[in-house]
Structure 1
Amino acid sequence: MAKFEMREYKREYPPEHFIVEIKPYSLLSNTKAEKYESGVFDAGGYRWRLSLYPNYETTSKKGYISLFLVLIGSVSEKQSPAEVYATFRLFLYKNTPETQEYLTIEDGSGKVNHFHEEMRRELGFAKFLLRSTFEKRSEGYVWDDCCRIGAEVFVHKGQTKTLDEYLPPRELKNPTSSVRKFRLGSISSKRDPKCLSSDKFHLQGRKWKLSVCQNGEPENKSLSFMLESKEDWKNFPSFYAKFRLRVLDRVHAKHTIEKEVQHWFCSSNCKIVFPDFMPWKTLRDSSKGFIKNDVLTVEVEICSLSVVDAPRILKKP
């Protein structure tokens, strides 16, 4: 019988995969049965059963009940003999007037257990519980001549999906596909303090939205920008981006104002703000060439981006 580092705790929620009641339990204990084998149940594509040993004794003559999980075989029977890597928990119900809960035992080492249909079918806990404690009426493990045991089995199939994220981020090699240009009309007449927002757009495979705002008092007004990631943040992983924002001089091509920023985007911080990007007076200065035919031109360029590849299968060694 295999030995484990036992981790013990109690919980109210019943086992996920299997529960069996043994009644009358006295018929099992009084006849000095070597073990009780439960019916078969399915979990993780394999067939299992529980083995309860009611009379296990140590060399010091202490009596225990022992509880083991037994591999029977594959549900599909395509793999014969079956070989399985799994973690599991075994349960014993405690039923008293004050408490209804499951004594839960698992391997405290955190190891994934190796079952083999022919060579290593049975794994569990030889010293699951002292027999004197188990059979003591006030403890509640045996009530109305009945006891209840159960199991949860989680099979590790060696087919883990993993996402590769590249850090530091990859520099983008195609500048053309990394730049998006916006033309904002009637900009000189915009006195409404509300932001002007673009439609959602795609840049380097990500979804974005750009907003342009007027900030501050009339005598100290400035132009500000906000770039927001519009991914579905319930499912999308965090990512890093470095980008530049430009207000173009469309007349002289020498007064263009550019600022660079880097940011980690996530569900709770999915936008970056450029406050006070430039004074409103500078923007409207005709000698600077920012507004031509009452149109302001803005560019967003992504310089580098962390990349999450499509899921791949990570097989066990």
Structure 2
Amino acid sequence: MASFGDHDEIIKSVSDGPPTHYTVKIESFSLLTKHAIERYETESFEAGGYNWKLVLYPNGNKSKNMKDHVSVYLALADSSSLGPGWEVSLYLILQGKERRFHTVKSGWGFDKFIPTSTFFDASNGYLLEDTCMFGADVFVSKERRSGRGECLSMIKDATSSKHVWKIENFSKLDKESVIRFYPSGTKQGTGTHLSVYLILADPETVSDGTKIFAEFTIRIFYQLQGRHIAGKVTKWFTRTSLENGWVKYVSMVYLTQPNSGLLLKDVCLVEADVCVHGITSAL
């Protein structure tokens, strides 16, 4: 993980290229705290042949013991392939200070970017109708790319959607279209546990840069007792991360016990309760 720091020195230099500007618009900002989103990373954007990302801590960077402030950083998306001694200079227009990025120090920013009391005060104009924008202009020599950005839309009063499946011939199951089962387990659960995942069934509808923040619960019912086993989690879904769930949802020993009622005549009853709380899309 990149180490971030907050320094006040100003280094004077000359750049012969225009900035690459990236913005992130956040709608329903207050819901980040409600859903315990302590850190948000934007999609990567290119400047001067390097990939960058903005990293936001809405309630302060806890690893730096920050509170009562919004923390904001600019970081190299990937510096692992760069050789020793490499560095690149850039300029953060928001604070008017130049920062040097290299393989040891791949992130710079501001632990105390703005006090939350100032940020949330509507009279200051930073947060209007629970919507705000953060951005950075990155000057890199000979950079000629146009600006990009993204919008994180948190959803007020989000409603959940429930789906129930009666899965017959469970022992012969391969996979379902929205719920994916691994009857013999996968990864660390192979051979010992049932693995269960929620998947985005239509990946072609998810464009590059889109991120979906969803809370979901998956239940398997005891068919004779009116009870269920449940797992609940909140995860980000993207084009490259289409499924999330549990490697070890329930042990196969317990699932297949004749008296458990989870698997009755090779039939299993499963429910998925899904609620989308936020979507990031490109601007």
TM-score by length of 1: 0.37
Higher relative contact order (CA 8 A, sep 6+): 2
Q: Which has the higher strand share?
A: 1
Give the number of the structure whose alpha-carbon radius of gyration is greater: 1
TM-score by length of 2: 0.41
